[in-house]
Amino acid sequence: MRTIQFREAVCEAMSEEMRNDESIFLMGEEVAEYNGAYKASKGMLDEFGPKRVIDTPISELGFAGVAIGSTMTGNRPIVEYMTFNFSLVGIDQIINNAAKIRQMSGGQFNCPIVFRGPTASAGQLAATHSQAFENWFANTPGLKVIVPSNPYDAKGLLKSAIRDDDPVIFMESEQMYGDKGEVPQGEYTIPIGIADIKREGSDVTIVSFGKIIKEAYKAADELDKENISCEIIDLRTVRPMDHEAILNSVKKTNRLVILEEAWPFGNVATEITYQVQSQAFDYLDAPIEKINTADTPAPYSPVLLKEWLPNSEDVVKAVKKVLYK
């Protein structure tokens, strides 16, 4: 098993699928000549040429529409947004076209497309470049939403997303592209909609996804010193959500903490809370705790940003609250 970076796992997934299927192409800002804003498409222009690795104008609405339209003529595009904050410029195409083509055409057209790029905060990028939109897209019927947390999951899930016949939102992080992890040389995929128990435990279930799950790992290490056993579930896929994995874990631990890098109102954690309380209420020994960012736009100041973001100390406090309240 070799160790590679997150960006390399993304590049490998796209390249392998493009070698196997000539209908797949990549388009977005700086994906070609510059090898990608975060070097996630490094070398792909040289291998596949400018007709399949396409630099676009700074016009997210335009190139999202071009890509979606191309699916109706048999193509399977991958659209890279430099950040999902920029997807708001093209969100009309995603929500009103990509997500609805199958239904509105009476099943005559699929829309096999992947929209990928980084989500949430990435340091001092200020309020308009530090937003998590997983719950926005997951709210839309017709879209699948994937948020991997490590190189292995990123490659396997991206390959599955590219092969899927429905539109997939694939969300990464600027702060994960350099992360390293073990990734097999051979072919593999990870099914969409299956969560992963990253750490077995008996006292409390912690559910998270994306880069913020690292704070859960830190907290679990600290809590282990106090003989508190945490089970950590990585959702991997926000929609469809693996309710069964969460419910089974809660039935074992009887306590739930949800860690999410998003605003507290109407988010993924809220949906998980509802599902657990409606299907496993009698198993809960304490109210569910959810941890989110502060309910404000992201600050620029590094001191304020540290306070705004969830961290491992927040997780430790939440775990102790559900254990000892």
| Residue located via tokens 């739930």 | 256
DSSP string, 274-317: HHHHHHSGGG-SS--EEE---SSPPPSSHHHHHHHS--HHHHHH
DSSP structural state of residue 210: G
**What are the start-end ranges of the H helices in 21-143?**
44-48, 60-71, 91-93, 101-104, 134-138
CB atoms within 10 A of CB 38: 23
Among 60, 80, 174, 260, the active-site one is 60
Identify whether 12 is a catalytic site residue.
no
Among 8, 129, 174, 231, the active-site one is 129
Tokens representing 263 are 């605003």
**Residue 12 and residue 158: Cα distance in Å, rounded?**
10
* 3-state secondary structure at position 163: helix
Tokens representing 158 are 């991206």
Identify whether 243 is a catalytic site residue.
no
| Residue 62 exposure: Cα atoms within 13 Å on the Cβ side | 7
Q: Where are the beta strands (DSSP E) in the chain?
A: 2-5, 24-28, 53-55, 76-80, 114-118, 144-146, 168-172, 180-183, 196-199, 204-208, 230-234, 237-239, 256-259, 289-291
Strands 256-259 and 204-208: parallel
**What are the start-end ranges of the H helices in 21-150?**
44-48, 60-71, 91-93, 101-104, 134-138
| CA R_g for the chain | 20
CB atoms within 10 A of CB 34: 13
Q: Which positions are annotated as active-site residues?
A: 60, 129
